[in-house]
Chain A
């Protein structure tokens, strides 16, 4: 069974940093591109970042470019999101999502999410 479990969320002050993790199991993690998608309270879904299976290709939404860094450790079946210079508008539930092999940017499995709150 495919499982994605996020961790690392919490309360952080504006300008602070946080590192999110996503532990994957039930599939060959190293064969899949992975993504972070966020959802502000009461709002819609927003794509944040994508990383290819071997980390060769990395992309960011304009809203986080230069502040967030996506990475992965295939030996540990883990995905990460380093978030720096956090702003109030980064407050959201952050989901990690697996990208289907057969379809670009189609997210076939999602974690349950971890809440990040940026507030003084």
Chain B
């Protein structure tokens, strides 16, 4: 089955740029979605189809995807961005299996 690998944690100072990676075999050929989850809350979609943003999501959130790595970039990080972030793809090679990465805890120092 398809595996997505994320670093368990990323730390960044306020105002700096955070980059959260999501590794997978030839992930560049798939559409990657990113979700933000704060403690005790449901996930929220922040980037879809590699680099598109849903309405209401700040432009500070952006995404890219190439080769074996997709990246969520959060510019000018704020304290309110502290959360868990999950990448997700649809594995078309299997029986409609949806795969999530293990999640990355973003800590704002």
Query: Which residues on A are within 8 Å of B, measured CB to CB?
Result: 35, 37, 44-47, 50, 57, 59, 61-62, 95, 100, 103-108, 110-113
Contacts and interface: CB of A to CB of B under 8 A. Distances in A.
A93 B22 CA distance: 24
Contact of A110 (B43, B88, B100): B43
A56 to B, nearest CB: 13
Contact of B100 (A45, A50, A103, A113): A45
Given A37-B43, A47-B97, A47-B100, 12 more contacts: A44-B86, A44-B103, A45-B35, A45-B37, A45-B88, A95-B43, A103-B31, A105-B33, A105-B89, A106-B31, A108-B45, A108-B48
Nearest to B47: A106
B44 interface: yes
A105 B98 contact: yes
Given A103-B31, A103-B48, A108-B54, A44 B42 contact: no
A61 B42 CA distance: 20
B101 interface: yes
Interface residues of B, number: 25
Interface of B: 31, 33, 35, 37, 41-45, 48-49, 54, 86, 88-90, 95-103
A112 B98 CA distance: 20
A98 B38 CA distance: 19
Contacts of A59: 95-97
